[in-house]
């Protein structure tokens, strides 16, 4: 009988402030994986049948209200960490508090931005210092109509009926999940970012979303198609992405990746992907592996090495070592993957 364990593999990033991600402080390297492993309990992928509030992907935002508060693990609530006008913790029953972007520990069916009712001990009593990017204004410019949730009229000031200029917010974009305005709250070809307003002004709240120019500056450096620009936004598994992602990274050389070509509807095309080069904006990565008892004899896989050729299809390899003396048939294992499928140009 095989013993199956859920393994959480945290991946740590370098301390780089990317456009649109100024609120994140990431450690390590875009390519590295920590050797530390933590066994976690299985997290449900579907809402329990009798759960009233299951996030913006189901009942919408702010299902938990002071008039009808929620139990532990239910959301979305509108707590003080959302800034602007909010319900505080009154959308949660009893002594429970409204967390911030914490719902996915209760269920993978939640959106990453959903806030759930949680135990008071989970709420930090110390607030981190404000993020201030050098050179950005500390106060809203005179005459700016939309200046985020910290100012009137508050959230979703940018609407399809009255769209915003670059650097204005808050807009209600596709990355907010649930029912949203897409990019229609932004003028022309501008797109609605995600938690990106701090790069335009220190007066914004960290959760404000601002209108910005589409990102086209990220280049792939490995994978099926290297040395090509990432195409943003792209849709993968029904979710719109405006930065590199870690979804299904185990099939993408265990690195952040992006689409290099899209269908006419903006969807990812199978095999048309590449791994993102250093400096590309990327989502946080927490990968869950299901491994059996035999797998625990082995250490972490290394990163995939350079591709054997520059074009027309090559191979890349990674290795891992046996960590149990006498417990493995071989001292090392290797895995090979295809890479650089782009056609060579004479």
Q: pLDDT tens digit string along 94-123?
A: 999 999 889 988 998 898 889 999 999 887
Query: Among residues of the chain, what percentage have pLDDT more than 90?
Result: 28
Find residue 291's DSSP bridge partners: 5
Cα separation, 10 vs 32, whole angstroms:
10
Q: Residue 264 phi/psi, 5° resolution?
A: -65, -20
Poorest-confidence range of 22-26, 79-83, 173-177? 22-26
Lowest mean pLDDT among 34-38, 256-260, 275-279: 34-38
Query: If you average pLDDT over residues 6-22, what whole number do you get?
Result: 33
Which tokens is 99 given? 């967390």
Stronger pLDDT, 294 or 64, i.e. the higher one: 64
- 331: tokens are 């001292």
Task: Report which DSSP code applies to 49.
Answer: T
Distance separating alpha carbons of residues 218 and 202, to the nearest angstrom: 25
Buried b (16+ CB within 10 A) or exposed e, 101-131: bbbbebbebbbbbbbbbbeeeebeeeeeeeb
Residues 150, 83: Cα–Cα separation, whole Å = 7
- State pLDDT tens for residues 198-256: 889 999 998 899 998 876 578 888 888 988 889 888 999 888 888 899 888 888 888 88
Does residue 324 have a pLDDT over 80?
no
Query: What CA–CA distance (Å, rounded) separates 254 from 275?
Result: 9
Q: Is 343 helix (H, G, I), strand (E, B) or coil?
A: coil
Contact 187, 165 (CB under 8 A): yes
Q: Which of 278, 274, 279, 281 is nearest to 222 (CA)?
A: 274
- Each residue of 150-175: pLDDT tens digit? 998 888 899 999 999 999 999 998 77
The pLDDT confidence band at residue 130, using thresholds 50, 70 and 90, is low
Extract the tokens encoding 234.
């792209």
């Amino acid at each position: 009988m095989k013993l199956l364990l859920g393994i959480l593999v945290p991946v740590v990033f370098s301390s780089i402030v990317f456009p649109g991600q100024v609120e994140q402080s990431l450690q390590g390297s875009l390519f590295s994986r920590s050797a530390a492993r933590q066994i976690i309990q299985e997290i449900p992928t579907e809402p329990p049948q009798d759960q009233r509030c299951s996030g913006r992907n189901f009942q919408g935002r702010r299902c938990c209200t002071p008039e009808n508060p929620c139990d532990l693990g239910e959301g979305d609530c509108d707590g003080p960490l959302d800034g602007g006008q909010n319900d505080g913790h009154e959308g949660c029953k009893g002594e429970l508090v409204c967390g911030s972007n914490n719902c996915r520990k209760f269920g993978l069916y939640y959106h990453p931005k959903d806030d759930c009712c949680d135990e008071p001990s989970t709420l930090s009593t110390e607030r981190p210092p404000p993020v201030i990017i050098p050179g950005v204004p500390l106060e809203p410019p005179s005459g700016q109509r939309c200046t985020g949730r910290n100012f009137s009229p508050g959230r979703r000031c940018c609407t399809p009926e009255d769209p915003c200029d670059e650097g204005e917010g808050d807009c209600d974009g596709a990355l907010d999940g649930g029912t949203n305005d897409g990019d229609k709250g932004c003028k022309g070809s501008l797109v609605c970012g995600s938690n990106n307003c701090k790069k335009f002004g220190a007066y914004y709240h960290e959760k404000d979303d601002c209108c910005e120019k589409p990102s086209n500056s990220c280049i792939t450096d490995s994978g099926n198609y290297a040395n090509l620009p990432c195409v943003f936004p792209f849709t993968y598994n029904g979710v719109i992405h405006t930065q590199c992602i870690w979804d299904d990274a185990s099939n993408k050389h265990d690195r952040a990746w992006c689409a290099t070509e899209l269908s006419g509807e903006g969807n990812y095309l199978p095999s048309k992907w590449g791994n993102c080069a250093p400096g590309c904006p990327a989502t946080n990565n927490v990968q869950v592996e299901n491994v059996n008892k035999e797998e625990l004899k082995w250490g972490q896989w290394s990163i995939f090495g350079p591709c054997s050729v520059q074009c027309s299809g090559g191979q890349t390899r990674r290795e891992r070592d046996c960590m149990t003396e006498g417990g493995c048939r071989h001292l090392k294992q290797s895995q090979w993957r295809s890479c650089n499928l782009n056609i060579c140009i004479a």
